[in-house]
Structure 1
Amino acid sequence: MGILEVLFPFFIFPVIYASNDCRFSFCGSNSIIIRFPFQLEDEQNPYCGYPGFNLICTNNSRAVLKLPYSGVFYVRNINYLTQKIQVYDPDDCLPKRLLSLNVSGSPFIHTFTRNYTFLSCPFLKAGSQYIPIDCLSNSTHFVLAVPSMNLPNPLPTSCYVITSLFVPVAGPEQQYGGSFKGELSEDLLLTWDTPDCRYCESQEQLCGFDLNDNNQLSCFSYQTGASQQGIQIFRIITLCIAEPAAIFAIVMACCVCYKDRLAIIRNNAIARSAPATISPAPQIVTTTGLDESTIESYEKVVLGESKRVPGPNDGCCWICLSEYNSKDTVRCIPECQHCFHADCIDEWLRMNPTCPVCRNSPSPLQLTSLDP
């Protein structure tokens, strides 16, 4: 009974704390962080997510966004600072999804659109204004997309218009004659206005419902979120390890109770007859960051004009929260491939031996060569 009295608080505490705990979740091969206003559908909590921001994590670790009138999309990335979510078609045919895209009934909107005309032709037309849609074409006809302002008049021989519609694009209208070919092959970028958590994110704080007024949003310190995540990990360890260990300990205690009593008596007798000894003072181990040679072993990359950062990263540095620009120098941690401004991560690693995003301890292995 003494063992049960000692271990009982460890089992009841996680259940009590869970009622007020909004934890982070991770899903996907690039470790997408899912937090307010998003939450996983199987972890429904009215205080931990905003209506309409439910995600699904599939068995193959894919984060899925389901739009009421347009079906499911896989999530590539979520930028909580700029309030943008980057999604793509599971069948890798985004133009087909764009033909019937309808974001109504969801909190998401597309910021920029461009009018495109889709043509069906018996042959593949050449020219920079024609964008071939391979996933909609077959051996007898080709589907092409043309910015409506570049649509030739008259139409090419034997070609006819399938439809004309406004298609979501990543940026504002380009000049006449510009290159449009990448717009229909890139991911779909959506944004949201409500809830507006950009102020909290810009202050390096978390956003969520006010504990005293569930209709208002408040900012919470990042340390609070990290503490909750640490307690969540402690709860998992407690339930998965401590409970079976406690049961095993009780059984073993009953079996060896008599033997332990004899051992105590024998040890007391030895202690009375043995001379007193002084135990050495325990050594205090301090934890510091990484040495300069290890930090310098992580490869640095100079960003090109595309400002594309390699690995599972978004468009801004998670330490200083500044957007990446061309010719910025970034350094990537080899274990998790999270990248940051070189100056920011160097200063961090001198004081902390872990990645500031996933908290994994990096190893001094070199990264493979990355193309900016």
Structure 2
Amino acid sequence: MGILEVLFPFFIFPVIYASSDCRFSFCGSNGIIIRFPFQQEGKQNPYCGYPGFNLICTNNSKTVLKLPYSGLFYVRNINYLTQKIQVYDPDDCLPKRLLSLNVSASPFSPTFTRNYTFLSCPLKNAGSQFIPIDCLSNSTHFVSAVLSLSLPNPLPASCHVITSLFVPVAGPEQRFEGNFKGEFSEDLALTWDRPDCRYCEAQEQLCGFDRNNNNQLFCFSYQTGASKQGIQIFRIITLSVVGPAAIFAIVMACCVCYKDRLTNIRNNAIARSAPATILPAPEIVTTGLDESTIESYEKVVLGESRRVPGPNNGCCWICLSEYNSKETIRCIPECEHCFHADCIDEWLRINTTCPVCRNSPSPSPSPRVTSINP
């Protein structure tokens, strides 16, 4: 024990040194995690984020991405494993934003695109072929978007082309009958290639800068957060201080162990000559919730969208792993925070509070298992 007391401060030092520089932060009502390569504007650290990946956390709990030449978008979700960010228009008129979308000065690019032609027509031409875009239309004319390959030739005499452009869409496998409705119903999906942290994420590790190697990226474990610079400092301290201290601690520990051994031998000899006594059974103290209370909390089976109900994001706050479809999660009734069922069950067996908000939950009226499959 004496050795651990001497060495513990030196083992913990590099962990504190590395983890104190770059920390996770949460923003928005859906609890979006902000970490490398993203970082929150106003808290910039040159080693904690990548250029062009600044996010704004507003007073009304919205996570905002500012694209050069294209303005502000609200962030719906960030998938660090696939390197995709899902954004939407604050004014709920995504087609209007797409007309002027320019991501050339940002690190992001659309996942998939499809060529659309935007038309302006009088209201009398509205129909199944030309479906109006409500937020771009008025009382006399409407704007519609038609796949360029499906554009009628010739156009009605009263219609004219506004522009033709490649519009970001959800994926190449979707097919729509000539109009924009299905394509623009989803959020705008963007991806990034640099920095490429997918290998680290696949290994369930974090990605960051190596300060001692020309700002090269490397993977490190989020359980310890130890960086290479911390390891080098630790080695220097070990050579100059810990070595002599460890030798002294080992000598002292040997003396203590020898003394304890003599004491044990003497106590055993006394115990053999004394009558046996029956010791009372130790009390079992339960620090967490009982199984019936835990099982009373609602279970949810995630669908293909992997959307989690309540004030939650796309990953479990206990194990920090992202949710997958068909996984079972459990939600605490009062605060509606959700986690992997196995993670929160293990937590509640030894704790009586929610791991996020620290509120003490109460039993749910009856256990339920639901399935989310939007």
**Do structure 1's residue 300 and structure 2's residue 282 form an aligned pair?**
no
Provide Cα deviations, 1:294-330, integer angstroms capped at 9, x if missing partner: 33222223445655433355566674846633x5544
Instruction: Figure out how many residues of one structure are paired with residues of the other and give that number.
Output: 299
Q: The residue matched to 2:220 in structure 1 has which SS? A: strand
Tell me, yes or no, if the aligned pair for 1:297 and 1:364 is still in contact at 8 Å.
no
Q: 1:164 Cα deviation (Å)?
A: 1.3
2:85 matched residue in structure 1: 85
Alpha-carbon distance in structure 2 between the residues aligned to 1:354 and 1:108: 40
| RMSD (Å), alpha carbons | 3.7
2:21 matched residue in structure 1: 21
Provide Cα deviations, 1:90-125, integer angstroms capped at 9, x if missing partner: 221111110111111111111200111112122262
| TM-score, normalising length: structure 2 | 0.67
Alpha-carbon distance in structure 2 between the residues aligned to 1:35 and 1:286: 39
Q: The residue matched to 2:223 in structure 1 has which SS? A: helix
Alpha-carbon distance in structure 1 between the residues aligned to 2:167 and 2:69: 16
1:112 matched residue in structure 2: 112
Give ranges in structure 2 of 5+ residues lacking alignment: 1-12, 227-281
Alpha-carbon distance in structure 2 between the residues aligned to 1:295 and 1:130: 54
Change (3 A) 1:292 1:174: same
**Do structure 1's residue 363 and structure 2's residue 372 form an aligned pair?**
no
2:162 alignment partner AA: I
Alpha-carbon distance in structure 2 between the residues aligned to 1:114 and 1:221: 40
2:361 alignment partner AA: S
Tell me, yes or no, if the aligned pair for 2:32 and 2:313 is still in contact at 8 Å.
no
1:220 matched residue in structure 2: 220
2:265 matched residue in structure 1: none
**Do structure 1's residue 158 and structure 2's residue 158 form an aligned pair?**
yes
Alpha-carbon distance in structure 2 between the residues aligned to 1:19 and 1:307: 30
Alpha-carbon distance in structure 1 between the residues aligned to 2:209 and 2:118: 45
Provide Cα deviations, 1:234-289, integer angstroms capped at 9, x if missing partner: xxxxxxxxxxxxxxxxxxxxxxxxxxxxxxxxxxxxxxxxxxxxxxxxx9997855
Alpha-carbon distance in structure 1 between the residues aligned to 2:46 and 2:114: 37
Map 1:132-281 → 2, pairs under 5 A: 132-156=132-156, 158-175=158-175, 177=177, 181-225=181-225
Q: 1:359 Cα deviation (Å)?
A: 6.8
Tell me, yes or no, if the aligned pair for 2:70 and 2:101 is still in contact at 8 Å.
yes
Alpha-carbon distance in structure 2 between the residues aligned to 1:284 and 1:352: 18
1:126 matched residue in structure 2: 127
Q: 1:351 Cα deviation (Å)?
A: 5.7
2:49 matched residue in structure 1: 49
Give ranges in structure 1 of 5+ residues lacking alignment: 1-12, 227-282
Percent identical among aligned pairs is 78
1:324 alignment partner AA: N
Provide Cα deviations, 1:144-177, integer angstroms capped at 9, x if missing partner: 1122233233334622221111111121143464
Tell me, yes or no, if the aligned pair for 2:130 and 2:179 is still in contact at 8 Å.
no
Alpha-carbon distance in structure 1 between the residues aligned to 2:20 and 2:304: 45
**Do structure 1's residue 98 and structure 2's residue 98 form an aligned pair?**
yes
Question: 52-61 or 305-314: which moved more?
Answer: 305-314
* Higher RCO structure (Cα 8 Å, ≥6 apart): 2
Q: 1:47 Cα deviation (Å)?
A: 1.0
Alpha-carbon distance in structure 1 between the residues aligned to 2:165 and 2:353: 48
1:86 alignment partner AA: Q
